[in-house]
Amino acid sequence: MSEILHLPLCYLTNELREHEAKAQENHPSPPLMERAGKAAADWLLTRISNTDKILIIAGPGNNGGDALVMSRLLQLQGVHCTTVLLGKINKLPIDAANAYQAYCDAGFLLQNELPTIEEWTWGIDGIFGIGLTRHPEGAFAKAIEYLNQCSVNILALDMPSGLNADTGVAFSPCVIAHHTLTYLGWKPGLFTYDGRDYAGEAYLDELGVPAGTASGTLIHTAPVQPPPRKHNSHKGTYGTVGILGGEEGMEGAVILATRAALKSGAGKVIGSCLGSLQIDMNFPQIMRSKPEKLLSQPLSVLGIGPGLGTSAEAQELLKTSLSLPIPLVIDADALNLIAANPALKTLCQQRNADTIITPHPLEAARLLHTNTESININRIESALKLAKEYNSTVVLKGSGSIIATPDGQWFVNTSGHPGMAVAGMGDVLTGMIAGVVAQGVTAKDATSLTVWAHGETSIL
């Protein structure tokens, strides 16, 4: 299986600043702001007619400069634009000041106050870019609220104003865009936490600049090919998956996970419950075993946690599992047990075989002894901390799941939809990951592939 090399880079703000500075130095003509404004104008020109009325709101920084360039180029094409510039002209940064001068030299008018709401066709958000780290205030907050009240198609330039580019936290207020045209490289905030609810459909224009150095990767398609299957093979070729969990009343979690492992291509799948697991008549090829017997069998990988509970028996089974020299996929109550028991945490940290943990934000908070808000306001940092502290490949679940590895790599997944917010989805993911790992796929590749596929299919 090939490594994840062909997916687009995902930049944190400090990385984008460095990338932009190098681009300005190495590719000075035309200026990046001129390129950004032209990219936005060209994008919009393919989507409007001669009768459309465009409202453009430009902020006090370089994002506002992009908007001014866009407005100038649109009006040169005969497009009806009403353009509002927020902030003081004498405090514009140099590139934005140049854009302002070019706008005025072209003979076009600017407004410094928001007009009465009219029948706009499009609203362009050029208020803030990637640097915002707090709630918008004053005239800027009013402009954001105004845009959201206009009931028009909203295009955000680079980032919706009010949305944190690194974390996906939506400050209040925040532009609710239908489309976002982002520049130079993808930002994780467009896709994780609040990002997808505010960015709408995201587009990238690299402005003709070669890729820079980024620490993250965006998963927007299958990151690797599924394991190849030879004609001359048999069930033993594709590994044996064990799934352990299902205390009394929670056996369905094991059923979901074992089915997912089977459908993901594992050769053999064995389900084991602390409760009573009946034959799955829809998939009778899934075998059953008592927990102690399961842990003594020659498994390729073990998934533990779905519906496991936190009883003394569950804790002892987890302790034994952590000592096995095989890959583990750890979820749900198994994570809660590790979070509450320092000895189990130590066993996890000391493992030599691959360990994959798949916490949702509350489970992640327990593992890091914090709260869900602290996890969610910086999901990338939280996932990386978990990966290092628990010596594990991590899937921090949620909108825009984050995958992190112990060596500091991180990935943002873009598949999935709100219909996945139902019980059992995590159990399915556990089974899918285990099923792919059983076929000899590395932890990083298996999690990246299955998290993306899980969001694409999202069927229990």
Q: What is the per-residue pLDDT across 78-98, written as a single tens digit (0 to 9) for each?
A: 999 999 999 899 999 999 999
In sequence order, what E strands does 28-111 have?
A: 53-58, 80-85
Residue 459: pLDDT band with limits 50, 70, 90:
low
**What is the CATH code for 235-457?**
3.40.1190.20
The mean pLDDT value of the chain amounts to: 95
- Least Cα distance to 423 among 348, 338, 344, 332 occurs for 332
- Tell me if 305 is assigned to a ligand binding site: no
CA distance 38 to 85: 18
Residue 131: pLDDT band with limits 50, 70, 90:
confident
Q: Is the four-CA dihedral 375, 377, 383, 389 of positive or negative sign? A: negative
- Tell me if 399 is assigned to a ligand binding site: yes
CA distance 260 to 449: 14
Identify the helix (H) or strand (E) that includes residue 430. helix 425-437
- Give the mean model confidence (pLDDT) for residues 385-396: 98
Domain boundaries, the chain: 9-214, 235-457
Alpha-carbon dihedral angle through residues 7, 42, 141, 31, given to the nearest 10 degrees: 80
- Tell me if 135 is assigned to a ligand binding site: yes
- Tell me if 131 is assigned to a ligand binding site: yes
Query: pLDDT tens for residues 177-193?
Result: 999 999 999 999 999 99
- Tell me if 196 is assigned to a ligand binding site: no
**What percentage of the chain exceeds 90 in pLDDT?**
89
- Give the mean model confidence (pLDDT) for residues 294-309: 98
- Give the mean model confidence (pLDDT) for residues 349-354: 98
Q: What is the pTM of this model?
A: 0.94
The tokens describing 342, both together, are 């320092």
In sequence order, what E strands does 106-255 have?
A: 122-126, 153-157, 179-183, 201-205, 216-219, 240-245
CA distance 346 to 349: 5
CA distance 119 to 127: 21
Lowest mean pLDDT among 145-154, 294-303, 367-376: 145-154
State how far the alpha carbon of 234 is from the alpha carbons of 225, 311, 353, 398, in Å.
Answer: 20, 38, 25, 36
- Tell me if 19 is assigned to a ligand binding site: no
- Tell me if 382 is assigned to a ligand binding site: no
- Tell me if 220 is assigned to a ligand binding site: no
The tokens describing 150, both together, are 């206009």
**What percentage of the chain exceeds 70 in pLDDT?**
98
- Tell me if 401 is assigned to a ligand binding site: yes
- Tell me if 245 is assigned to a ligand binding site: no
- Tell me if 319 is assigned to a ligand binding site: no
- Tell me if 307 is assigned to a ligand binding site: yes
**pLDDT for residue 50:** 86
CA distance 425 to 422: 6
Flag whether pLDDT at 458 surpasses 80: no
The tokens describing 2, both together, are 């090939």
Query: pLDDT tens for residues 219-259?
Result: 998 888 888 899 999 999 999 999 999 999 999 999 999 99
If one compares 278 and 235, the residue with the highest pLDDT of the two is 235
Instruction: Using CB atoms within 10 Å of the CB of residue 252, give its burial: 0 to 12 exposed, 13 to 18 middle, 19+ buried.
Output: middle
- Tell me if 194 is assigned to a ligand binding site: no
**pLDDT for residue 222:** 86
- Tell me if 397 is assigned to a ligand binding site: yes
**pLDDT for residue 151:** 81
Flag whether pLDDT at 17 surpasses 80: yes
What strand order describes the sheet that includes 80-85? 80-85, 53-58, 122-126, 153-157, 179-183, 201-205
Pick the CATH number of 9-214 from 3.40.50.300, 3.40.50.720, 2.60.40.10, 3.40.50.10260: 3.40.50.10260
CA distance 33 to 215: 25
- Least Cα distance to 48 among 179, 170, 137, 139 occurs for 179
- Tell me if 161 is assigned to a ligand binding site: yes
Query: pLDDT tens for residues 93-128?
Result: 999 999 999 999 999 999 989 998 778 999 999 999
- Tell me if 407 is assigned to a ligand binding site: no
- Give the three-class secondary structure for 138: helix
- Tell me if 208 is assigned to a ligand binding site: no
- Tell me if 415 is assigned to a ligand binding site: no
Residue 29: pLDDT band with limits 50, 70, 90:
confident
**pLDDT for residue 130:** 94
